[in-house]
Copies of this chain bind each other. A is one copy, B any other.
Amino acid sequence: MAVSDPRAGEAMCPYRLVLEHVTSRWGVLVLIQLLDGPHRFSELRRAVGRVGRAVSEKMLTQTLQTLERDGLVHRDAKPVIPPRVDYSLTDLGREAAEQVRSLAEWTRERMADVEKARLAYDEARQP
C-alpha cells in the first residue's frame, strides 16, 4: 500500500497505482462505507474499525488524502465553530465504490467455498 516514490509509480504504469489506492486495505473499507452517505472523520474511523481492523488516525488521513487527490472522495470543510469536515464520494468515487462493494459481496457469498478449500489444503499438508 505504501509507495516509496509515487511519481516513479505514476510514470511507469499510472492506472496500476490508482487500482492500488482503490483496493488498498483501508481504501476498500472507506469507499464501501461512503456509499452509505457522507461521514465525518470520526464516524468513518469508527465504521471502518467495525468491519475490519481498527485504523489509526494517520492511516485514515493518508487514505482519505490519496482518494481525494485521485478525485474519488470529496472533502467538505464547513466554516463553523467547532470545525466540521465531511467526506463523501464523488461521481467517479461512487463508480469505484460500487465495483469494490460487489467484489466484497462476492467474497462474502463465497466464504463457504473458501473455507472448504482451506480445510482441504491444510489437511493435505498435515504430517
Contact = CB atoms under 8 A, between A and B. Distances in A.
A49 B51 CA distance: 33
Given A70-B117, A118-B70, A95 B106 contact: yes
Judged by DSSP, the binding face of A is helix
Interface stretch (A22-30, A37-45, A56-64): A22-30
A45 to B, nearest CB: 16
How many copies of this chain does one complex carry? 2
Contact of A107 (B15, B113, B120, B122): B15
A68 B13 contact: no
Contacts of A90: 117
Given A18-B111, A103-B103, A116 B71 contact: yes
Given A16-B51, A19-B103, A71-B114, 4 more contacts: A14-B115, A22-B107, A71-B113, A71-B121
